[in-house]
Amino acid sequence: MADKYGKVFLICLGIHRALVISSWEVAKECFTTNDKVFSTRPKFLAVKLMGYDHFMLGFAPYRSYWRDVRKLATVELLSNHRLELLKHVHDTETNFFIKELYAECVKSGGLVAVQMKERFGDLAMNIIVRMIADTIPFLGWLDVVNGYVSKMKKTATELDYVLRNWVDAHCQRRFNQNISEEDQDFIHVMLSAMDDGNISSKDVNTVVKANCLNLILGGNDTTVVTPTWALYLLLYNHHVLKKAQDELNLHVGKRRQVDESNIKNLIYLQAIVKETLRLYPAAPLSAPRESMEDCTVAGFHIPAGTHLFVNLWKMHRDPSIWLNPLEFILERFLNDHANLDVRGLHFKCLPFGSGRRKCPGISFALQVLHLTLARLLHAFELGTVLTQ
């Protein structure tokens, strides 16, 4: 559609107007001049039913509740300082995800996730499924007749069962003042913030469960999909794979395992991750935003209530910015775009979004992506596996 209608166009999704942009200049305008205007998210029936009625940080309306939880997430949960403190909960065998969340998710929530996938497809995992009620509200009864509403309610009950057990167990240990170092995880931090009155909501259980769920959903698929694409690209580009392994052997050697302190020296590996995020951003349309008041974008009048989609896929493949945009050429991040940072300030490459609602998990995600890929390439001869 971007090829046909251009880098900025409006479409109608049922009763909603949606602005679709695929130009970095326009993205810059949206996330600087108009950032505050586009700081809320549209509401979805799926999030209402399965996401604690928009209590999840990622879907909360732009109000004081969102600001409090966002601050908690960036300062307390996902900051470099906190990640350092939470190192003890990294599973050293998989060093893949926060142990408490991930292990529990695989054990019990994983089942729910599989069910959600089966019922609603991959998009359900990002809980941005658009039901008929979201686009044409007066036909919302069709969602009921088709059985989607009852299926979503069932999934919500199952998810809630898992999350409630975690929170109850933490509350019990806090009540007994029996908190070991191992227990000082995300749930513990959130419960402490609620005790200190740092969140403008009194509903402790809902806040903690909703945001626990959000961190699992926001951080799980994204950090699995990206290394998968990186591997795919490396297996089709053996010379790059070989160079990455040479870099690892040079800076880490063959007798030690890669650790966090090595990553800063692995410049080639960092460029592989950037190029993967450029070609295959985990959220190709970013996450939808909604304008809170009238504004002007690229000279067009945009009324309040317009949804905004940033077509990262198209933007990241713009031939006027990227030479041979469809090719995996990580050297671009060592030469022409060497200073390009993917954290949301360089608008030509925005895999984590930008502005005040950009991804709060960037540091955590990059840490996980670099370490996972580095350990995989260091420990396995992937080329040999393929040719056998």
283 lies in the binding site for ligand HEM (CB under 6 A): yes
Give the closest residue to 149 by CA, choosing from 53, 49, 51: 49
Distance CA 67, CA 73 (A): 10
Rule CB under 6 A: say whether 364 interacts with ligand HEM.
Answer: yes
Task: Confirm or reject binding of residue 27 to ligand HEM (CB under 6 A).
Answer: no
Q: Which residues, at least 6 apart from 22, have a Cβ–Cβ distance to it below 8 Å?
A: 2, 7, 8, 310, 311, 314, 315, 318
Query: What distance in Å separates the CA atoms of residue 289 and residue 34, rounded to the nearest whole number?
Result: 12
- Select the residue interacting with ligand HEM from 27, 129, 287, 330 (CB under 6 A): 287
109 binds ligand HEM (CB under 6 A): no
Residue of the chain from 90, 170, 357, 378 that contacts ligand HEM (CB under 6 A): 357
Say how far apart CA 360 and CA 67 lie, in whole Å. 12
Among 352, 371, 374, 375, the residue binding ligand HEM under the rule CB under 6 A is 352
The 226-265 site mask, x for binding ligand HEM (CB under 6 A), equals x---------------------------------------
318: Cβ contacts below 8 Å, ≥ 6 apart: 22, 23, 24, 325, 348
If one asks whether residue 213 binds ligand HEM (CB under 6 A), the answer comes out as: no
Residues 64-83 that bind ligand HEM (CB under 6 A): 70
Q: Interface with ligand HEM includes 359 (CB under 6 A)?
A: yes
Pick from 162, 329, 351, 367 the residue near ligand HEM by CB under 6 A: 351
CB atoms closer than 10 angstroms to residue 37: 22
> By three-state DSSP, how is residue 43 classified?
coil
Is residue 309 close enough to count as binding ligand HEM by CB under 6 A? no
Based on the shown chain and the rule CB under 6 A, indicate whether residue 286 belongs to the binding site for ligand HEM: yes
Contact between 57 and ligand HEM per CB under 6 A: yes
Region of 44-52, 172-180, 251-259, 354-362 interacting with ligand HEM (CB under 6 A): 354-362
Pairing mode of beta strands 16-21, 307-310: parallel
Dihedral over Cα of 311, 315, 319, 323: its sign:
negative
Contact at 8 Å (CB) between 304 and 294? yes
Give the 3-state secondary structure of residue 384.
Answer: helix
Which of 45, 86, 215, 230 is the binder for ligand HEM (CB under 6 A)? 215
Q: Is 212 one of the annotated binding-site residues? A: no
- Say how many residues touch ligand HEM, by CB under 6 A: 28
314: contact with ligand HEM by CB under 6 A: no
From the number of C-beta atoms within 10 Å of its C-beta (0-12, 13-18, 19+), residue 93 rates as: exposed
Interacting span for ligand HEM (CB under 6 A) from 46-54, 109-117, 212-220, 374-382: 212-220
Minimum CB–partner distance for residue 54 and ligand HEM (Å) = 11
Tell me if residue 289 falls in helix, strand or coil.
strand
Q: Is residue 353 involved in binding ligand HEM (CB under 6 A)?
A: yes
Binding of residue 207 to ligand HEM (CB under 6 A): no
> Which CB atom, from 120 or from 280, has the smaller least distance to ligand HEM?
280
User: What are the CA-CA distances from residue 191 to residues 129, 183, 195, 211 (Å)?
Assistant: 30, 12, 6, 11
Q: DSSP letter for 380, please.
A: -
- Annotated binding residues for heme: 359
Residues that bind ligand HEM (CB under 6 A): 57-58, 70, 214-215, 218-219, 222-223, 226, 281-283, 286-287, 289, 351-355, 357-361, 364-365
Which residues belong to the annotated binding site? 359
